[in-house]
Amino acid sequence: MKNFFVRLIKPRAWVSKLLILLFVVAFLGLGFMDYLEPIRVILDKDEFAFHLGEMRFSAFLILKALVTLIMVFWVAGIVSEFAENRLMKLSKMKSSNRSLIIKTVQILVYFAAVTIGLDTMGFDLTTLTIFGGALGIGLGFGLQKIASNFISGIILLFEKSIEDDDLVELDDGIFGFVRHTGARYTLIETPDGREVMVPNEDFMTYRVTNWTYTNKQGRIEIMVGVSYASDIEKARELIIEAAQQHPRCITDPEPVCFVREFADSSINMLLQFWVADVTLGRYEPQSDVMRTIWRLFGENGIEIPFPQRDVHIKSASDSASDSARDSARDISGAGS
């Protein structure tokens, strides 16, 4: 039912738009030539009317209001879609600028449509000041979140800190690409295919990491443990060589390797290398370099140790002998 009304108010097919245009022209023409006057007289009778306070509502007034609103929104939808399609073809303009202009045009078009519709139905537009005051009170109480998200979306478009196709990460762990910035939310597509609608207010009040804000470079880190019996200088050279062999590893900055920790069973070394485009993923180059390190270590006799523990097992006879010695020790201590 919801989709039906959306298609009714904002049609998509060009045939529907043509039929709407013909209907509007025919309706205006019949009204201009007074062919609709008999219908108005019948529907405006008291038998088809009711009073709400001092206001009189007739069937003609209600029908006129519905037809006028539908026609106005039809025209507004067509104008809005035409402007959106024209702006989307401006490839030299940034996506954030296009979105901002499109939203501004849509707001102006629909505001003009509502104003024209109310004026056509005979409403006194000076009463909108009272409605504006009531709306302000509503925004202050029940609609403050909606207003906050809307204003936050406008600020994001002006600042250009978050744009379409940016790779972002939020404090709550949401990670993915920005696909759309709406009036209420920003749509983020995660690597596992989920589409998360994040309120625009979250981008203004919480810490957000934009991996592609100024450039698309990204750093990848790999921790490698080396045996104490191995040559750590040779191991360091092999670790850096493994990173340099990967086609996505860039030379500026160059890959580096640091000795980070003398652990219980290994000397832990940290590899850091950069990729040119982090949006292509980090797990694949990380996995490839780790496999290369494993191969180079095997070819050069570098051991990657694993934790080892010495376990001493005592038999029942040993436990009895220990108990007898402890008892004898206690008796000799008491006698002295």
pLDDT at 2: 46
pLDDT band for 184, please (50, 70, 90 cuts).
Answer: confident
Task: Please state, in angstroms and as integers, the Cα–Cα distance from residue 220 to each residue in 170, 179, 275, following that order.
Answer: 19, 25, 8
Residue of 298, 310, 307 lying closest to 263 (CA atoms): 307
Is 218-299 in the same CATH topology as 161-210? no
What mean pLDDT do residues 100-124 have?
70
pLDDT band for 200, please (50, 70, 90 cuts).
Answer: confident
CA 180 remoteness from chain centre:
8
Indicate whether this model's pTM tops 0.95.
Answer: no
CA distance 271 to 288: 13
Mean per-residue pLDDT of the chain = 77
Residues 6+ apart with CB under 8 A from 305: 225, 226, 227, 228, 265, 266
What mean pLDDT do residues 231-252 have?
94
> Among 149-153, 254-258, 264-268, which stretch is predicted with the lowest mean pLDDT?
149-153
For the CA atoms of the chain, what is the radius of gyration? 37
pLDDT band for 258, please (50, 70, 90 cuts).
Answer: very high
Residue of 250, 238, 256, 254 lying closest to 295 (CA atoms): 238
Whether the predicted pLDDT of 106 surpasses 60: yes
pLDDT at 156: 80
What mean pLDDT do residues 219-243 have?
94
CA angle 66, 69, 73 (to 5 degrees): 140
pLDDT at 185: 85
The two tokens of residue 215 are 């450039």
What mean pLDDT do residues 210-220 have?
90
What mean pLDDT do residues 285-309 have?
90
Whether the predicted pLDDT of 288 surpasses 90: yes
What mean pLDDT do residues 248-258 have?
93
What mean pLDDT do residues 63-92 have?
72
pLDDT at 331: 58
More confident site: 298 or 112: 298
Quickly tell me which residue has 């399609």 as its tokens. Answer: 85
pLDDT at 24: 67
CA distance 203 to 185: 10
pLDDT at 138: 60
pLDDT band for 314, please (50, 70, 90 cuts).
Answer: low
Per residue in 1-23, pLDDT (tens digit) is 445 445 555 555 555 666 666 77
CA 331 remoteness from chain centre:
77
Whether the predicted pLDDT of 219 surpasses 90: yes
pLDDT at 153: 78
pLDDT at 42: 74
More confident site: 323 or 177: 177
Q: Which of 60-64, 128-132, 292-296 has the highest mean pLDDT?
A: 292-296
Whether the predicted pLDDT of 302 surpasses 80: yes
CA distance 332 to 335: 5
SS (H, E, C) the chain: CHHHHHHHHCCCCHHHHHHHHHHHHHHHHHHHCCCCHHHHHHHCCHHHEEEECCEEEEHHHHHHHHHHHHHHHHHHHHHHHHHHHHHHCCCCCCHHHHHHHHHHHHHHHHHHHHHHHHHHCCCCHHHHHHHHHHHHHHHHHCCHHHHHHHHHHHHHHHHCCCCCCCEEEECCCCEEEEEEECCCEEEEECCCCCEEEEEHHHHHHCCEEECCCCCCCEEEEEEEEECCCCCHHHHHHHHHHHHHCCCCECCCCCCEEEEEEECCCCEEEEEEEEECCHHHCCHHHHHHHHHHHHHHHHHCCCCCCCCCCCCCCCCHHHHHHHHHHHHHHHHHHHHC
CATH of region 218-299, choose from 3.40.50.300, 3.40.50.1980, 3.30.565.10, 3.30.70.100: 3.30.70.100
pLDDT at 141: 61
pLDDT at 32: 60
More confident site: 266 or 334: 266
The residue extents of the domains of the chain are 2-123, 161-210, 218-299
Quickly tell me which residue has 């990670």 as its tokens. Answer: 175
Task: Please state, in angstroms and as integers, the Cα–Cα distance from residue 78 to each residue in 2, 110, 261, 322, following that order.
Answer: 19, 11, 66, 96
| Domain 161-210 in this protein, CATH class | mainly beta
pLDDT at 137: 65
pLDDT band for 318, please (50, 70, 90 cuts).
Answer: low
